[in-house]
Structure 1
């Protein structure tokens, strides 16, 4: 390794099964001077498993911008640094962006070591089209912001991938059902590579009911893979139906207004409801 200026290695680590580590990653861990990690105690378990002892440097969401300068100085002094997250590929819904950007601005070489990623692992086993997809990470915690984000994605025809937490998953599925429609296909991948790994696919409405039947089905790390909007979901809404919906929705709840207009103009209620969510909210 060149000691005149250090290298920053972006190293993917296992997302559950500790054997999902590359030989190259283990070699780099042994050779670098320092490992930057979100939770040094958590990451210490991985290194202990492989008998590697190395100095850690704490770098997480709450201190990254402040501590980036310190790490850059160490790299300029010739230290080689490995950046890892608690699990999976760094920077994928994890810290590291500010550090990598600063290193590139300073001419410090940034070297990726590919490996495990929960989003890609879930996509591979979902059975949903994988040739075109977009990763959205975690949706906002608050309902309005979450719904606004989902509305922006309602017409997206690429496969959508989200991370979600145990305590928000049911609320998220309720919002997805309202905005994407109960028939949109979705796969929930839980605890990937771990002992209780499970992958379950169904339409949004039925998946939500399936989860509500058994609380254990929502425990653990969750990835949602959602089919993009298909042409079969599209239905032309006449200008007359649009006008009627806008007027009636001023006096009645949107769901009821959509039902009335669907009956009057022979339209699909779900299509009218989704139109209302997108254009009347």
Structure 2
């Protein structure tokens, strides 16, 4: 029997179920290749939200790669990269509307978006921030806040939609306190990464997201803002569904550790990292059900 006419094994998914599973596997591969830390936290999610969060991350990662180097390395000009990003946004919005895409990563995301209530109000700001990377090289306080909302806070809100709605008959609107916590956790993650990647962003990408030394902010003020955001997010973790709390705690504590290390090494020339043994300890702490770390202690 030829490969074209071969039937799936008995009990194996077929049709749309097989396509959905293949798309989810593609999304899982993206997160496994690109982020060991996020992948570790994701494994602490319950089976209900886990594939959906992977689907969100995969789309975010692909969009980020369009503006952060691989597209340029493939020979695309900023204008061409912008057109590719526009095409990805259009395909994503269309797929969410119709429930199908020939792009496996987009298909995985659209199935999550339809089930969990992720709409244009979150998708468009994300792509708007990605588009900013092609044209804005130095940010002030206002443009920083707008960028962080689209690039990080809405991703936290997408994940919150999953936490609340995955497996539900119809999507519900999350509690406002959880919305605020998701936004502030996303903002803290982004600002930590800005500080970690300060030299790389300036030298390799020609970008300054924080405007340090240009009157927009100071390093100490950014770290204080990060810790305030982490504390606000930690306060609402107990209100999340039980199958999400451990993963969010692990991610929170990892970035709290990064914030502490950044504060302790203001002149570090290498990217600040958390050793694997410390990551494992933080994950174990979260797995045992401890509350998020108090960054003010």
Q: Is this a same-fold pair by TM over 0.5?
A: no
Q: Which category of TM-score, normalised to the shorter sequence, fits these structures?
A: under 0.3
Q: TM-score, normalised by structure 1?
A: 0.26
